[in-house]
């Protein structure tokens, strides 16, 4: 049963990553969020394939998994997420060099930090991941506040809950392994995959709500300009 739940959680993350990544690009032209969501989808797919094939440590699936995990935990689902969301919270669209630069930074972070992805607790990298997550959580708390202010209260509550769950996962990841888990950390990864998938799902609708609110406020202004 636990293996089935793991596979379902992984499939959920794959579906969310690719589906909503494409929606970010197609509906909003947001390549930062769209590509990061797809990176998560690729990571979850690689994780699933490696799990089904019984990939061993040091194999290609493991190397790819370590890189993609470090990519998203360092600058992907942190800095890239914040910059991408700022299109809806601050109407800020980074110039193309910034887009390229942050993805380059995430790639560099992934290549360097993947070396520390083993069973040993590397306090420096683990602390960096946790601090990056907590700083991103502060920004997402602001997103919750914005959602509440535009009367999207139910969505604000869901965003707050899934963000709190993700922060708990980030804390557990390196510092507090579940004492009842097996050697493959099946229970932890099932909870993590399910949480990350739900994050991607909820954050898309949070972005959509903020974007729609901005568009509704801009429309009257454009009408006034057209009449003047």
What DSSP letter does each residue of the chain carry, written as one string? -HHHHHHHHHHHHHHHHHHHHHHHHHHH--HHHHHHHHHHHHHHHHHHHHHHHTPPTTSHHHHHHHHHHHHIIIIIIIIIHHHHHHHHHS-----HHHHHHHHHHHHHHHHHHGGG-SSS--HHHHHHHHHHHHHHHHHHHHHHHHHHHTT-HHHHHHHHHHHHHHHHHHHHHHT---TT--TT-HHHHHHHHHHHHHHHHHHHHHHHHHHHHHHHHHHHHHHHHHH-
Q: Let me know: does 142 contact 89? Beta carbons within 8 Å.
A: yes
Q: Let me know: does 186 contact 6? Beta carbons within 8 Å.
A: yes
pLDDT of residue 183: 84
Average pLDDT over residues 174-201: 92
- Round to whole Å and give the CA distance between 145 and 163: 13
Of 114-128, 157-171, 190-204, which range is least confident?
Answer: 114-128
Average pLDDT over residues 56-74: 85
Q: Which comes out higher in pLDDT, residue 55 or 122?
A: 122
The tokens 């609708």 sit on which residue?
205
Ramachandran sector of residue 95 (left: φ over 0; alpha: ψ -120 to 50; beta: rest): beta
pLDDT of residue 219: 57
Residues in CB range of 217: below 8 A, 6 or more apart: none
pLDDT of residue 55: 66
Average pLDDT over residues 124-150: 96
Ramachandran sector of residue 137 (left: φ over 0; alpha: ψ -120 to 50; beta: rest): alpha
């Amino acid at each position: 049963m636990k293996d089935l739940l793991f596979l379902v959680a992984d499939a959920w993350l794959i579906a969310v990553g690719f589906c909503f990544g494409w929606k970010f690009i197609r509906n909003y032209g947001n390549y930062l969020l769209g590509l990061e969501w797809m990176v998560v989808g690729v990571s979850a797919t690689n994780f699933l394939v490696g799990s089904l094939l019984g990939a061993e440590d040091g194999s290609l699936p493991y190397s790819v998994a370590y890189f993609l995990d470090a990519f998203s935990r360092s600058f992907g689902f942190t800095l890239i997420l914040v910059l991408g969301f700022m299109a809806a919270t601050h109407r800020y669209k980074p110039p193309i060099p910034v887009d390229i630069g942050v993805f380059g930074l995430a790639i560099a972070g992934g290549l360097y930090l993947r070396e520390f992805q083993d069973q040993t607790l590397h306090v420096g990298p683990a602390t960096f991941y946790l601090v990056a997550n907590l700083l991103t959580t502060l920004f997402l708390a602001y997103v919750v506040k914005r959602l509440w202010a535009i009367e999207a209260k139910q969505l604000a509550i869901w965003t707050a809950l899934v963000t709190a769950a993700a922060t708990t996962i980030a804390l557990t990841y390196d510092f507090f392994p579940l004492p009842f888990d097996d050697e493959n950390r099946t229970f932890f990864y099932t909870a993590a995959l399910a949480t990350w998938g739900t994050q991607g799902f909820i954050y898309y609708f949070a972005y959509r709500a903020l974007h729609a609110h901005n568009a509704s406020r801009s429309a009257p202004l454009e009408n006034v300009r057209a009449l003047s």
